[in-house]
Homo-oligomer: A and B are copies of this chain.
């Protein structure tokens, strides 16, 4: 007599985690194929949020708005600075902080890229009907 394995009813292809990974991979492929300027999804989100913030904002605070931890944020910010899309200054009020802002070049790229980004969302959701798209977005928001 051997114990039956605990695999009954377990179908990997039906697991949210597995599906989320594949869905995000597909979205990334669509994103990188349609965006100009070589922005990654994370870099776009970071740049967008920074312009959206309008006022001065620290590196870590910006990272939180995008859902990145401090270590990840550091790398993303460094690459955006290296491309001349954002700028960093020291905060004299709080000398731990690095204040970030978009550059003219960064805002120009953002303007150029917005229509593409809309198309990317469209393409990602293409397999679904309008109602289904809305349902998926609402459910994903509830998940976070």
Contact B26 A24 (CB under 8 A): no
Contact B20 A27 (CB under 8 A): yes
A136 to B133, CA, bound (A): 11
CB neighbours of A36 from chain B (8 A):
none
Contact A12 B137 (CB under 8 A): no
A52 to B117, CA, bound (A): 39
Contact A127 B114 (CB under 8 A): no
**How many copies altogether?**
2
Contact B121 A16 (CB under 8 A): yes
A19 to B144, CA, bound (A): 8
CB neighbours of A142 from chain B (8 A):
127-128, 132
Contact B144 A139 (CB under 8 A): no
Beta-carbon contacts under 8 Å, A17-37 to B: 17-28, 31
CB neighbours of A22 from chain B (8 A):
67, 144
Contact B24 A41 (CB under 8 A): no
6 A-B pairs whose Cβ atoms sit less than 8 Å apart in the complex: A12-B49, A17-B124, A20-B23, A26-B144, A132-B142, A136-B143
